Amino acid sequence: MTTKQIIFGVLSAFVFASCSNDEKVVFIYADETPVNPPVQATLKEKAKFKIGAAVKMKDLQGEVNYKNAVVKHYSQITAEYEMKMASIWTSSTVYNWTAADYLVNFAKDNNMEIHGHTLIWYDSFPDWFKNAKYDSIAFEAKVKIYITDVVGRYKGKVKSWDVANEVFADGGALREESVIKTVFKDPIGFYGRCFQYARAADPDAKLFYNDYSVVLDAGKRTAIKKMVTRFKAKGYPIDGLGDQFHYANDTNKQTMKTGFTDLASTGLLIHISELDIKVNTGKSDSYVFTDAEAQKQSETYQYITSMYEELPQNQKFAITTWGVTDKYTWLTAFWHPKEYPLLLDNDYNKKPAYQGFLAGLK
């Protein structure tokens, strides 16, 4: 009991003795109102799996509220771009480890995990690499060295990697604009060997394939499942699948669930890897994020986290949001300046979306 409660108790007993019966009843009820309402659990406290956020070094260093929010709500981080090939591999003979090292150490110092994103992404091959016009033998030899060096450097520290990102286009064909499609006769074989190189560099790291619209696009899902079957037949290691989940308030929830169940049928670990929920779906310049819109967004988040909870426990890996606060979401540059897709608002206050996410967790 606090001093305040003791004083209040003594006072109430005194007044109670000198009041009429009606007044006594009212006063006793007032006294029973809890002085300290229970403290609400944060996302990472409630979840029985990792809750991740994509973060940027410059924001962690530049804004203490950002850093505090990451540490308070999350148990895992992903580098938003600092661990992509173009950031690390600055020339044929030079690696820039500054930001990647910072983020790996940040995770360790704050008792968090870090998910590695991403070793092979068509969109992040450095210009010097593309300009070299390697044939398939030289290309693979270079990439093998890169994977071995990066995964080896963070062996035991980065416990999971997106080995390959966005191999397939919408509908499930191999992505035409990818340099890998141009160089290799059998791109899937190349990707399989990349998983092998990663496994050799850190046998304990969990290896993921990551893509977008996986649960919505049945063609893409079929292509991914076919790749997994081939990997298994060939002995190429793969532990998990990530769907980015850059979805929106108007994404069809039933389609999402059907696709999610289908994805889970692989038996692999499942990562919701880049979750954010767009609200300004029409990209309108006059868009206003009203309470009603915020409520809809909250319901979408709740639907997604409760859907994830239906997975068998041994397939739950993590849910990662692509960012921490609406203030720095990538979508203001890549979608529309008026966009509010995350769990915390510009001032790091919890949005209804946060409560929805939390409510969906078991």
Shortest separation between residue 85's beta carbon and ligand XIL, angstroms: 11
Shortest separation between residue 244's beta carbon and ligand XIL, angstroms: 6
Closer CB to ligand XIL, 236 or 330, in the complex? 330
Task: Report the SS3 class of residue 343.
Answer: coil
Cβ contacts of 129 within 8 Å, gap of 6 or more: 85, 89, 92, 142
Shortest separation between residue 246's beta carbon and ligand XIL, angstroms: 7
Q: In the chain, what is the straight-line distance between the N-terminal and C-terminal CA atoms, in Å?
A: 32
Active site residues: 166, 274
* Alpha carbon distances (Å) from 293 to 12, 74, 324, 344, 352: 45, 25, 19, 15, 10
Closer CB to ligand XIL, 328 or 352, in the complex? 328
Shortest separation between residue 214's beta carbon and ligand XIL, angstroms: 12
Shortest separation between residue 80's beta carbon and ligand XIL, angstroms: 5
Report the distance separating Cα 26 and Cα 10, nearest Å. Answer: 16
Give the binding site for ligand XIL (CB under 6 A): 80-81, 165, 244, 274, 330
Q: Which residue is nearest to ligand XIL (CB)?
A: 330
> Which phi-psi region, left, alpha or beta, contains residue 140 (left: φ > 0; alpha: ψ -120 to 50)?
alpha
Closer CB to ligand XIL, 19 or 179, in the complex? 179
Report the distance separating Cα 292 and Cα 279, nearest Å. Answer: 11
- The C-alpha R_g of the chain, in whole angstroms, comes to 25
Closer CB to ligand XIL, 80 or 239, in the complex? 80
Closer CB to ligand XIL, 260 or 330, in the complex? 330
Tokens coding 321: 């949001």
